[in-house]
Amino acid sequence: MCFKNLPIEFDAQGNASLKPGVANPYSYVETPAPTPIEDDPERMRELFARNGAVRRVDFDPVTRVAGALAFHTVVDLENRQVMETASMATLFRGYEIILKGRDPRDAIFISSRACGVCGGVHATCSALACEMAFGIKPPPMGVVARNLLLSTEYLYDHPIHLSLLAGPDFSEAAVRETNPEIWERARNTRTRGAAVHGYELMSDLMTDLTPLTGKLYLEGLYYTRLAREAYVLIGGKYPHPQTVVPGGVSTTIDASDLNEIMLRVVKYFDYGRKTAAIWDDLAEFFYEVNPKYRDIGTRPANMIEPGQWDDPYAYDGTYANADAWGRERWAPPGVLVDGELRTTSLKMLNAGVEEFVEHAFYEEWTGNGDEFYRHKTDPSGNPLSPWHPWNKETIPKPEATSWKEKYSWSTAPRWDRMAMETGAYSRIWVAAQTGPQAFRDSPYIESTGHSVKIHLPKAELPNTEIEWKVPETWGAFERNRARAYCILYTAAIAYDNLQLAYDLLKKGGPDARMSTPYEMPQDHRIGVGLWGAGRGYLTHHLEMDNGVLENYQILTPSTWMASPKDPFGNPGPYEEAVLATPLLENYEKPEDFKGIDVLRAIRSFDPCMPCTTHMHMDGRTVSREIISCACGADEVHEHH
C-alpha cells in the first residue's frame, strides 16, 4: 500500500483516485501540540527546582542560509534526557513572492541565490520545472553535462559536511573536552581501516579531524576545491552557474574539458575509499565505547528521495513519463517508511507531499481542505491535496514566537502525513533497496536489495569493492557513515557519465548537442523540477500563464528536516531525533554541559546552516552574533 493516511486508493491497474463518498477528503482535525514546559508554571517550578538539573538550552546560530536555524530544548541533565524540542527556521526568504510575475527562466538564476553553497542544484531544479512547462527536453549530451555538473557539486558538498561540519565534533579537541575518558580509550585503540586511511590509532585519526590544522580537515577543504574546479569547466561559475538553461546547458564542451574533469574525478576514488573507512572506524569505535551512541539522533527511517542523474535517453521532461524516466536515474526516487520502500514512483512521491503551517509564520490558504482549490489532480490525473505545493500560496504572517502555536518560518512538509528526512543517505538507501532487477545498468554500481556495491578502477589504493549496507539501527553515526560512502557513489556516477560524454563527442550529430531550441509558451502551463540536492530532497513547482510565473514554490531538504510540528501532533525530524538523543557527554555540574550529543544529532542531518556553538543556557549566553565586527579597524571614517 502506497498511502496509509491520505484518502487515496488504487484500482487493479494501479491508477490512483480519491476514496469515494468522503466530503472534503483531505480535511483533518488538528491535534493540539503539547503544552510547553514554560507555559505550565506549576510544572516548571517543580522541574526547575531540581538542583538546576532541568534547564532550557537554546542553540541559536543566527546565520543566513537557506533558512537559518535555531533550536530550543529543555534538558534533564540528571536523567540525561531531552524533554522538549522545537526547531525554528528564523528567516523568511520570500523567493516564492519575488518570483511571481517574472519570466520563468529568471527563476533559474534567482532561485540559485537561495543558497551560497548549493545554488547549482536550485538552478537545475528550476530548469527542469521550465522544461516540463515548456514541453522540451535536452539532447543526450545536455543531460550528461547536467549529470556531470551535479555530481561534481555533490563531490564538493559531501567533503564539506564530513570534514568541516560534522568532523570537528569527533576531533581530539571536542572529544577531550566533552568525554575525556573516550579520548583516553582512543589513545589505546587500533583502527580497523589503517590499510586504507593510514591511521593506526583512533586518537591519531581524531587529532587530524581538528579544525583548521588537522590533516583530514585540510584535505576536505582541498577536495571541495577540486570539485568546484571541475564544476566551473561546464557551469562557468559556482555556486551560481551561468550555463544552466531549459533544454540543456548553454556552453560547449570538448575532449579537453572532459579530460580536465576526469583528472579531478578520479582523485575521489581513493578519497572516497579513505573517507568511508574513516567513518566506519568512528562509528564502530563509539558503538564499542557505549552502545547508546547508536541512539544519538535516532528516529524511524522515514525518508523521501526524488532521485537525480537522468538517463540521457530516458529523460523526456514530461510529467506523463516521470515514473519511467525517474526509475532510470542513477539515483532512483523513492519513499522509505521504517526503512522499507513504499514507492519508487515520482508521481506518487509528488502526490503524497503536503505542507502545513499550523506552527509556522504563514497564513493557511485553503480553509482546511476547502473543496475549491486550483489543482485537484496532477497532469496525469492523480489526486492532489489542497496543501500540495502546486496549490500552495505563500502568505507570510510574522508574529511572536510561541512554542505551542507558531514558532518557525519553515512549513511542516509531510509525505502521507508523516515527517520525512532526506539526504545523501536516503539516496544510497533507496538505491540499495531498489534491487538488482530494477536498478539501472551501470558497470560501477550494483544494487543488491539490501546494499550498494561500488566497483571503481584502481587509483593508488587497490580496486577493492566497497559495499554500503542498510544499517540495523538508524541515527547520527549512520547518517555520517552513509554520506561518506556517497562520495564514492557519486564519483562512480561522474565516471560513468564522463565515459558517456566521450562516446557522445566521438559520435557527434544531434545527440552531441548541448541544448534544445524552444519558444516560450504563452498559454497556461505547470511544471515541476524533482532533483535532490547534495543535502537531499529538492523540488521546484511552477505555474505560468502569459509567459510569466503565477506561482513558484521551492521545497528544500532543510524545510523537511527543520520543520516544526505538524497538525497531527508529529514533531519534525530534528525535533524527533534530538528528543530521542541520550546525553552521553561527561559533565559533573550542569554548568559544564556543552550539548555535544544534541549538536551531533542535528549536524548529522547536514542542515544548510551549522548549529556550531550558538548556544544560550538559561540566562547565560555563550553564543556569538555573526554580525558583530571581528575586523580590526584603523583609519576609520564614518559618514552619517
Return residues touching other proteins (CB under 8 A): 61, 63-66, 92-95, 97-98, 110, 113, 115-119, 160, 164-165, 168, 211-212, 221, 224-225, 228, 238-240, 607-610, 612-614, 624, 626-640
Nearer to other proteins, 113 or 374 (CB): 113
Which has the closest alpha carbon to 413: 355, 341, 496, 483? 355
Nearer to other proteins, 224 or 302 (CB): 224
Q: How far is the CB of 383 from other proteins (least distance, A)?
A: 33
- Residue 509: which residues within 8 A CB-CB, separation 6 or more? none
Nearer to other proteins, 69 or 253 (CB): 69
- DSSP letter at 410 equals S
Q: Do residues 142 and 316 touch, judged by C-beta distance below 8 A? A: no
CA distances from 118 to 265, 268, 484 (A): 19, 19, 18
Nearer to other proteins, 93 or 414 (CB): 93
Nearer to other proteins, 138 or 214 (CB): 214
Q: How far is the CB of 221 from other proteins (least distance, A)?
A: 7
Nearer to other proteins, 392 or 614 (CB): 614
Q: How far is the CB of 169 from other proteins (least distance, A)?
A: 11
Q: How far is the CB of 337 from other proteins (least distance, A)?
A: 29
Strand partners, 551: 543
In the block, residue with C-alpha cell 550558538: 614
* CA 535 – CA 157 distance, rounded (Å): 8
* CA 502 – CA 140 distance, rounded (Å): 12
What are the helix (H) ranges across 508-572?
A: 557-561
Q: How far is the CB of 277 from other proteins (least distance, A)?
A: 23
Q: How far is the CB of 468 from other proteins (least distance, A)?
A: 24
Nearer to other proteins, 250 or 612 (CB): 612
* CA 121 – CA 149 distance, rounded (Å): 9
* CA 214 – CA 396 distance, rounded (Å): 44
Query: C-alpha grid cell for residue 289?
Result: 565505547
Which has the closest alpha carbon to 29: 571, 570, 568, 392? 568
Nearer to other proteins, 380 or 612 (CB): 612
* CA 597 – CA 561 distance, rounded (Å): 18
- Strand boundaries in 417-517, DSSP class E: 445-447, 451-454, 466-469
Q: How far is the CB of 364 from other proteins (least distance, A)?
A: 21
Residue 36, preceding bond cis, omega within 30 degrees? no
Query: C-alpha grid cell for residue 332?
Result: 532512483
Q: How far is the CB of 313 from other proteins (least distance, A)?
A: 34
Cβ neighbour number for residue 112 with a 10 Å cutoff? 24
Q: How far is the CB of 623 from other proteins (least distance, A)?
A: 10
Nearer to other proteins, 454 or 599 (CB): 599
Query: C-alpha grid cell for residue 30?
Result: 488538528
Q: How far is the CB of 106 from other proteins (least distance, A)?
A: 11
Strands laid side by side in the 69-76 sheet: 81-89, 69-76, 54-59, 615-617, 620-621
Q: Do residues 488 and 273 touch, judged by C-beta distance below 8 A? A: yes
Nearer to other proteins, 116 or 547 (CB): 116
